[in-house]
Amino acid sequence: MKKLILGGLLALGFALAQAPYVGGHVGLFGTSGLNLLNGGLHAGVGLQGGLEVRGGVDFTSVSGVLTTGISTDVLMNLSMPGSAALPYAGFGGNLWFSSGTTDFGVHATLGLKYPIAGAPLTAFLEVQPGYAFAGAGAFVYYLKVGANYGF
């Protein structure tokens, strides 16, 4: 299922793409009082009009149990005249797989990208506040720092 979702996103993106990229991040994942180290990989494409679509997979260890997450995002690049930094905002969804259970959630994304001069790399910092519908539900967040490699 994971491969099907990511493959579909990539196929659609590459068909319409202006700027495909792959990247990775490290950061924190958590909820009230719980902050866990998180890492992941993603692939995305720039579309016309400043839009991007991105799909990724991330990993978090919760009490020694590995939780795998799949996320999709639709992002809009915003303008900041006179600055090399590029803010962006968007929304997306999550699926988390852990110990035979599957949970889902939604999130917003707020971020800032900064191209690294002389390299096809773009550093980024983003926060994703969200809501997980598992059990009684919970507000969650991701705080990510990473880089994208553009083709």
| Cα 102 to Cα 1: distance, rounded to the nearest angstrom | 12
Which pLDDT belongs to residue 30?
Answer: 87
In this prediction the pTM is 0.83
Q: Judge whether 38 and 140 are in contact, CB under 8 Å.
A: no
Per-residue pLDDT tens digits for 13-63: 555 557 899 999 999 998 877 788 999 999 999 888 889 999 999 999 877
Q: What is the pLDDT of residue 19?
A: 82
> Quick one: which of 144, 151, 150 has its CA closest to 40?
144
